[in-house]
Structure 1
Amino acid sequence: MENLYKLYEGKPFVGFWRFRTPGLLIRDPEVTKTVLLQEFNSFQQNGFRVHPELDPLVHKNPFMLTGEEWKTTRQTLTPSFTNSKLKPLLPLMEEVAAELVQYLRANCHTCGPDGFDAKDLCSKYTMEVVATSAFGIKGHSFQNPKAELREMTMQLLQPGLKKSIELMLINFLPSLADLLKLRMMPVEVDQYFRGVVRTVVDEREKKNITRNDFMQNLINLKKKAVENGETYSDEDITAHAVTFMTDGFETSAIIMSFILHELARHPDVQEELRQEVVAARGANGGRLPFEVLLELPLLDQVIHETLRLHPALPAMEKVCTRAISLRAADGTELHVPKGQLVILPVLGFHKDPRYFHDPERFDPDRFSPGRKSDIPKYMFLGFGGGPRQCLGMRFALQQTKLAIATMVAHFVIKATPKTPEVVEQDPTSFLACAKGGLWVRFEERQTSL
């Protein structure tokens, strides 16, 4: 989509064919705002779909839901991602961050000249954070490279030719996919997560255990539903726990790995960030309290600039659910019929020199308080936009900020011979994924907080 975006410079709309399905690529800021916000009800359905009977747990993911079912689920889950619910998770995350430091200390001298695959490293951390936050269990990712929880989760998300073909059929040829009974979530993974949730819920109910985590929020939702005569089943709990697991695990690991890549290639930014983190920790007894962690300005800028260059989802797909006319800033008007596939080219927007000067350059200052207002609305879509903006954005930022702050405080992050100058996208992955990996090495600092 990025190439198509560049090819038709100056055009607000670009039509194309995806197999037998006509698509519409949006290149105009005003139309993007219309699609995501002003006429949200006409484009509230995301382009990806799964069969509700073949893939019941994936189907209940808010990303897949539409209409009233999406609205109800969103309203139900949103309170679980407020600051008041996320703040108690910080001590759990800090325990995992300490494990990350121990793991790096034990392995940074023996990993060889190529260092660590940043995505693999970050996914160990995010898996442990999500395991303890979602299920209240240990995933043992740092101790066991084949840990069962991580292996099961990666079956859903690991890029590969077979998975890529299956996802293409599910998305582009749904009738054939249904005939072949293709699923996003393999049967054994479905059964595994149902078993994990059943075990956790049963143990908490039998032993009257209460814990400050996402699973407890879901258990409380079920109790409240029962009291009100409403339905909130164990399958709902499992589906929403799995959503939290997969979304919090994969997309955060992607963001973190690209941040490490950019910091390794820009040591000046890394040093400035280290000074910010060390100063904040020094002023707070060696810790980063919740409110302080969220407000570190350069850390926030580094994350957003990395998301600009490497958005986890390079394009957003919407389906028009009600015929509408769209009007671009130049006056061009286009009728969009019901059922039309509409693409918002996130990466195209993020690398358009009209909105971001010298767009290929890593420049966290773009998102500084004095400059971020210059970015046109809805031209930065690192977490999506409008009512369907990423529900777990705050959680993702919290665990990402803690991990990056912890690593820069304790280690110097450096490039290796395998660190790519130009990142090439893995064609078998629908999420941002560097072909050949993102390689960095860590040198322990002699003094750190």
Structure 2
Amino acid sequence: MLSFTVIGVFCLFVSVIFTLVTLYLRWHFDYWRKRGVHGPQPNLLTGTFPKSSAGQCNLLEELHEIYLRYKATQKYVGIFTARTPKLFICDPQLALQILTQHFKHFRDNESSQWTNAHVEQMRLSSPFVSIGEEWKARRSELVPALTLNKIRSFYSVMRDSAQKTIDFLAAASTQTQDVKEVANRYTAQFMSNFIWGIEANAFAVPSKTTAPSASLSPVHCMARDIISQSLQCVRYYGRTAAWPWLRKLHPVRFFPIAADRFFQQLLVDAVKARSKQATEGGGVRRGDVIDHLQQLRDKKSLNGIQIAGHTTTILIDGYETAAILIAHCLLLLARNARVQQKLREELLSIDGADDSFDVLNELPYLEQCLQETLRLFPPLSTLFKLCTKTITLQNADKSIVTLHPGDAVYISTYSFHRDADYFENPETFWPERFAEELGGVRKYREMGVFMPFGDGPRMCPGMKLGLAEAKVAVSELVRSFQVTPASNMRTDNKIAADSFLLTLDGTIELEFKRLN
């Protein structure tokens, strides 16, 4: 009799716990319905994203399904990440207003909540993560180092890095290459010079007895580790979406400790080397990022962690974002012989004496090819914004919703970019859609349907740098090689399920056949 009583009490206890957990998980599920906002019915634990939560697809693909379902009738809909309500914007003009006219109401990025100041400091120096007035200060410190004039002064270094890429491909034992890995060598080579004024030796060829990674430069390895750790962190935040309090109990780092220490020491070494050169009378300002940050240090009382944090912010923009753009542009050109040949003819039409940064920067078809690549594979594929000041938004049916500080808003640039109502045959690589005679990039930006780097005051500060790196790399490689897809390359544009910086699903393997 006693055993049955114990079993009964245990079963009752389990039932109560199960009920309480279920109530906790469902607690907010009527959040949007009470406010008159339409949206898909959420599921327990996975919210509105059951397939991406199970690793079956990228979050963007489920967002796109929601977008296609509601865009004709709703300017915004209510969605849930696990149990947390978010407002998903389906109207491009409203999205543009949120990023521009209503910026003071949506000043912060949701990712600012993902970094714990007690765990890591360097990442907080990034204007992408900083909040409030701190964001404005951090951005103002970086922008002067990334102007077009600064980038122009490093044109010869970019071309030298591109020539090393050509030599590396020409000397390779096989024509087939992982083009993303090659692009990262190029960006690691250039960024090492642009930021710290050092030679990266990013194109060392691995020996037969060592792994390919053994030939990578230290900067390349550390930047790669940051990207890998950041991806793990994003996954962790996805897994704990239903239990956000776990993040306070067990905070995780976006940057590995080893990377923090490496870049702080690299900064110390670079500054010491310049001080020594100045003492010996041989110091010459290079105009690189370290020069800029040294001048800022005393004016704004920046400490070593903040300065090192700025270097890693610029590094990730120039190392990973630019490499993704280069790799995907080469992939799309490899698939499209007509476009590749048309681009090559434009590049070969440049007279050697006129081959300058400004001339390259003004080539229309090269620009169109890169913009079309950015349309299909935008670096900022989703913008996660936080409401910072109460605002009321109106839906298509004139109903309204009031957002308060802390409410999250999602904008899918991926969905706008692949909407057939704005871009005819959206899955087709057709650079001519960005021709000036058709309205160019400006037309689509004013419509709010093209924002690969975001828009408004928090637009990606590294945009010009990434585009310049890509223009030099793509132009030099297309001049020198006929690029074709490897036999095993996929022919569609399916994105990787676990990518947060948008990438094709699988390795991008291309063949490079020397032309001259």
Q: Same fold (TM over 0.5)?
A: yes
Higher mean C-alpha displacement, 390-399 vs 173-182: 173-182
Q: Is the 8 A contact 1:383 1:393 kept in 2?
A: yes
Distance, in Å, in 2 between the alignment partners of 1:85 and 1:174 is: 42
Q: 211-220 vs 159-168, which deviates more?
A: 159-168
Counterpart in the other structure of 1:367? 434
Q: Does 1:310 align with 2:393?
A: no
In 1, the alpha carbon distance for the partners of 2:314 and 2:241 equals 22
CA shift digits 1:306-349 (9 cap, x unpaired): 11011123211101111111135664533223211100011000
Counterparts of 1:269 and 1:136, CA distance in 2: 36
Structure 1 residue aligned with 2:261, among 168, 188, 191?
A: 191
The answer (yes or no) to whether the contact 2:78–2:88 under 8 Å persists in 1 is: yes
In structure 1, what is the equivalent of residue 405 of structure 2?
Answer: 338
Does residue 130 in structure 1 map to residue 191 in structure 2?
A: yes
In the alignment, is residue 2 of structure 1 matched against residue 54 of structure 2?
no
After superposition, the C-alpha distances for 1:334-392 in whole angstroms (9 at most, x for unaligned) are 32232111000110000111211121111111111112254243210111101111101
Are 1:21 and 2:84 matched, yes or no? yes
Cα contact 1:28–1:328 (8 A) shared by 2? no
Q: Within the alignment, does 1:380 sit opposite 2:447 as a pair?
A: no
Which letter maps to 1:17? F
1:48-92, Cα deviation, whole Å (9 max, x unpaired): 121123121111111001111111121222111222211111111
Task: Name the amino acid aligned to 1:45.
Answer: D
Residue of structure 1 equivalent to 2:463:
393
State the distance in 1 between where 2:201 and 2:247 align: 35
How far apart are the structure 2 equivalents of 1:136 and 1:75? 22
Partner residue of 2:309?
A: 239
Give how far 1:167 is off.
4.5
Partner of 2:515: 445
Where does the alignment leave 5 or more consecutive residues of structure 2 unmatched? 1-62, 207-212
Deviations along 1:168-222, whole A, 9 cap, x unmatched?
3688865422321311111111111111111111111222232221121111211
- Please say if 1:48 is aligned against 2:137: no
| Residue equivalent to 1:292 | 359
Mapped contact 2:427–2:493 kept (Cα < 8 A): no
Give 1:417 shift. Answer: 1.1
- The question of 1:215 aligning with 2:282 is answered no
- Identify which range, 141-150 or 90-99, moves more after superposition: 141-150
Please give the alpha-carbon distance, in whole angstroms, between the structure 1 residues aligned to 2:182 and 2:503.
Answer: 14
Partners of 1:95 and 1:306 lie apart in 2 by 24
TM (norm. structure 1) is 0.92
8 Å contact from structure 1 (residues 43, 318) kept in 2: yes
- The one of 67, 79, 96 equivalent to 2:144 is 79
After TM superposition, the runs of 4+ consecutive aligned structure 1 residues lying more than 6 A away are none
Mapped contact 2:229–2:254 kept (Cα < 8 A): no
Deviation at 1:163, TM superposition (A): 4.7
Q: Does 1:99 align with 2:147?
A: no
Count the aligned residue pairs: 434
How far is 1:165 from its partner? Answer: 2.7
Aligned partners of 2:401 and 2:346: how far apart in 1?
Answer: 49
**Inter-CA distance 3–288: structure 2 relative to 1 (3 Å threshold):** farther
Q: Which 5+ residue runs of structure 1 have no aligned equivalent?
A: none
**TM-superposition CA deviations, 1:265-318 (whole Å, max 9, x none):** 1110111101111111xx233x73111111111001000011101112321110
Is the Cα–Cα contact under 8 Å of residues 325 and 374 in structure 2 kept in the other structure? yes
Identity %: 29
Q: 1:160 to 1:344 in 2, by over 3 A?
A: closer
Q: Take 1:174 and 1:17, find their aligned partners in 2: how far apart are those partners?
A: 14
